[in-house]
Amino acid sequence: MGGQLDAFTYNALPARVIMGAGKREEVAAEVGRLNCARPLIVTTRDQAALGEDIARRLDARQVSRFADATMHTPWPVTQRALEVVEGSRIDCVIAIGGGSSIGLSKAIALRTGLPQIVLPTTYAGSEVTPIIGETRDGQKSTQRTLDVLPEVVIYDVELTLSLPVTLSSASGLNAIAHAVEALYAADANPITSLMAEEGIAALAKSLPHIVQAPDSIEARRAAQYGAWLCGTCLGTVGMGLHHKICHVLGGAFDLAHAPTHAVMISHVAAYNAFSAPSSMARIARALKARDAWTGLYDLATNLDLPVSLEALGMPETGIDRAVELIMQNTYSNPRAPDVPALGNMLRRAWKGSPPQPME
Ligand code: NAD
């Protein structure tokens, strides 16, 4: 229990969550439930056809589309979407996709107060968080506000079948990283920790099956269930060193979001090993592994994911700069960050060496 029963604060997040194969059929009913009639369908360019598929289930005269959502929610894209919202008298947003489509939907909700219905197609978890990251003039800034939390989430497992295997694995590790950090968060609580352990276990079991059989509804269903739980952890408690590192590496070296999480999480678990032993025991139990860091590293390796920052395109000369950026701004973490230990960890991660617990 990690002492969490002594005293804790639990902030529950309001959301209507609908889960099941084929549940996208209910999107029109959900628009009606919100007393709305003029939705804007938001997707990336890659997923525009999926947006059309959803549009066919709605009144064609009332639906508008915006198929230009882009990773990291750049402000010029949001501005263009807001023009469509105003010009077409939109009264709700339907986002279909991963964190990029959902990020744009949240950016619209933040400025307009419009309700959101979200149909996730990755395991990133943004649909159940009150968090929005936006990029303006090359700077990404993140804020937490209930104004961006989607009102309705429809988890239709069939929408995840097309997610390529490598993206599925990386996105799954991204989700697991939310749960790992939730277990040792300063504001950890028993409910979030239950979700974290169950979420890690569901993903650790299902991801290797997805690699073998990407069309397996059973494996995809378990992975999506795990992603929901892990996303809820991200939405409910504060994240630590791992999320800070991924934010820095993504911003400074333009590394891909989910694969960076997949490389780093085992190393950060090792970094925190002796400062959060009871959390590590729960992670190991969920992974059915000897210890948390080896279990996380072995999972990434077994899923054939890149295990080095070098493979993601980070220059070795960037390590010192990364450490400098990580040391800026405070964030909560079981073990205080220190320059030599961070440098040591990043050098191992850069090479792809197995994680090493540090005293
Ligand atoms: P993404 O939404 O950028 O999707 C990656 C690519 O895969 C896109 O080209 C997309 O069109 C495609 N794709 C998505 N689902 C697919 C499917 N089922 N089949 C085929 N192609 C599919 O990736 P992501 O990892 O979900 O999101 C990353 C973004 O989300 C980042 O900007 C990140 O910062 C943000 N994020 C935010 C939060 C939050 O709580 N605010 C949480 C997690 C991630």
**Residues 29 and 102 occupy one common structural domain:** yes
**Residues 148 and 243 occupy one common structural domain:** no
pLDDT tier at 329, thresholds 50, 70, 90: confident
pLDDT in tens, 62-102: 999 999 999 889 999 999 999 999 999 999 999 999 999 99
Q: Which atom of ligand 1 is nearest to the CA of 235?
A: 40
Q: Domain ends where: 142, 160, 178?
A: 160
How many A from CA of 36 to the centre of ligand 1? 26
How many A from CA of 61 to the centre of ligand 1? 29
Does residue 76 belong to any structural domain of this protein? yes
pLDDT tier at 330, thresholds 50, 70, 90: confident
**pLDDT averaged over every residue in the chain:** 96
What is d(CA 148, CA 146) in angstroms, rounded to the nearest whole number? Answer: 5
pLDDT of residue 310: 98
Q: Which atom of ligand 1 is nearest to the CA of 44?
A: 11
pLDDT tier at 251, thresholds 50, 70, 90: confident
**Residues 254 and 325 occupy one common structural domain:** yes
136: containing domain: 16-160
Does residue 285 belong to any structural domain of this protein? yes
Q: Give the strand pairing for 92-97 and 39-44.
A: parallel
Does residue 217 or residue 4 have the better pLDDT?
217
The mean per-residue pLDDT over the stretch 121-141 comes to 92
Q: Domain ends where: 132, 160, 188?
A: 160
pLDDT of residue 231: 98
**Residues 238 and 139 occupy one common structural domain:** no
∠ at Cα 257 (197, 148), nearest 5°?
Answer: 75
The mean per-residue pLDDT over the stretch 223-252 comes to 96
**Residues 154 and 218 occupy one common structural domain:** no
pLDDT of residue 139: 77
pLDDT at 2 over 60: no
The answer to whether residues 351 and 308 touch, using CB atoms and an 8 Å cutoff, is: yes
CATH label of the domain that carries residue 254: 1.20.1090.10
pLDDT of residue 4: 56
How many A from CA of 338 to the centre of ligand 1? 32
Does residue 142 belong to any structural domain of this protein? yes
**Residues 150 and 198 occupy one common structural domain:** no
Closest of 116, 119, 146 to residue 14, by C-alpha = 146
Terminal-to-terminal C-alpha distance of the chain: 23
How many A from CA of 316 to the centre of ligand 1? 27
**Residues 283 and 323 occupy one common structural domain:** yes
pLDDT of residue 1: 47
**Residues 270 and 313 occupy one common structural domain:** yes
CATH label of the domain that carries residue 75: 3.40.50.1970
The mean per-residue pLDDT over the stretch 217-230 comes to 98
| Among protein residues, the one whose CA lies closest to atom 36 of ligand 1 | 99
Q: Domain ends where: 143, 160, 177?
A: 160
pLDDT of residue 85: 98
Q: In percent, how much of the chain has pLDDT > 70?
A: 99
Q: Which atom of ligand 1 is nearest to the CA of 120?
A: 15
Burial of 1 (0-12, 13-18, 19+ CB in 10 A): exposed
* Tokens, residue 168: 């599925």
**Residues 136 and 270 occupy one common structural domain:** no
| Among protein residues, the one whose CA lies closest to atom 19 of ligand 1 | 163
pTM of the model: 0.96
Does residue 252 or residue 181 have the better pLDDT?
181
289: number of Cβ within 10 Å: 17
User: Does the Cβ of 257 fall within 6 Å of ligand 1?
Assistant: yes
pLDDT at 133 over 50: yes
What is d(CA 317, CA 133) in angstroms, rounded to the nearest whole number? Answer: 27
The mean per-residue pLDDT over the stretch 159-177 comes to 97
**Residues 177 and 139 occupy one common structural domain:** no
pLDDT at 54 over 50: yes
**Residues 135 and 227 occupy one common structural domain:** no
Does residue 358 belong to any structural domain of this protein? no
82: number of Cβ within 10 Å: 16
**Residues 324 and 179 occupy one common structural domain:** yes
Within 217-304, residue ranges assigned H as helices are 217-236, 241-253, 257-271, 277-287, 292-302
Amino acid in the structure at residue 344: N
User: Does the Cβ of 132 fall within 6 Å of ligand 1?
Assistant: yes
pLDDT at 149 over 60: yes
* Tokens, residue 156: 């239709």
- The SS3 call for residue 152 is strand
pLDDT tier at 303, thresholds 50, 70, 90: very high
Does residue 3 belong to any structural domain of this protein? no
pLDDT of residue 5: 67
Counted domains in the chain: 2
User: Does the Cβ of 130 fall within 6 Å of ligand 1?
Assistant: no
pLDDT of residue 95: 98
User: Does the Cβ of 171 fall within 6 Å of ligand 1?
Assistant: yes
